[in-house]
Amino acid sequence: MPTAQPPPGPASPEVTEIERALNRITYLSTRARHHERLMALAGVPLDRAAVALLRQIADSEPLRPGELAHRLGVEASHVTRQVQQLQKAGYVTRAPDPDDRRAQRIEITRRGQEAIDRIRDVGVRGMQVALSAWSSEELRQLATLFHRMVDDFLAHAADDAQDSLAAARPES
């Protein structure tokens, strides 16, 4: 299935504004000071990479390290180092893969789930304060549109991955 190419010419003003807003949100939410404040309020001493990995583990079934790396778009060696640190701190554990006993899957522990729950609670409370002037209907619409956008981004990324695989295959 070919990936849809962007239309020729400049992007629409609406898409340009969405891209600008997303970059601003990303910048604000990934600043080191923001992360440090969030971790202090949650009482969780993890760096940003470890939090991203722990969130992914919490949101999915147990996965192999390579699958985690793929989902996060990072090198497997980064995941291996982070998993070792998270395991040492008691946030995750390794379990044999039921499909291949030579492989391992990474699972969140009770301590890891409690840490993610605290991180999410602090984040949600902060967001609640920031969006307190929004109506319930506006919040519902925003949530619906954000989920739709993420789904479309994921579908586009999957199409790109399939196109890359197809291009890498030798012609028969």
Does this model's pTM top 0.85? My answer is no
Give the per-residue pLDDT at 1: 46
Give the per-residue pLDDT at 157: 77
Q: In which residue ranges of the chain is pLDDT below 50?
A: 1
Cα dihedral sign, 57-75-20-33 = positive
Give the per-residue pLDDT at 86: 97
Give the per-residue pLDDT at 167: 62
Give the per-residue pLDDT at 102: 87
Distance between CA 116 and CA 119 in Å, rounded? 5
Burial label for 126, CB within 10 Å (0-12, 13-18, 19+), is middle
CB neighbour list of residue 141: distance below 8 Å, 6 or more residues apart: none
State the number of CA atoms in the 13 A half-sphere of 112 facing the CB. Answer: 25
pLDDT digits 0-9 by tens, 80-95: 999 999 999 999 999 9
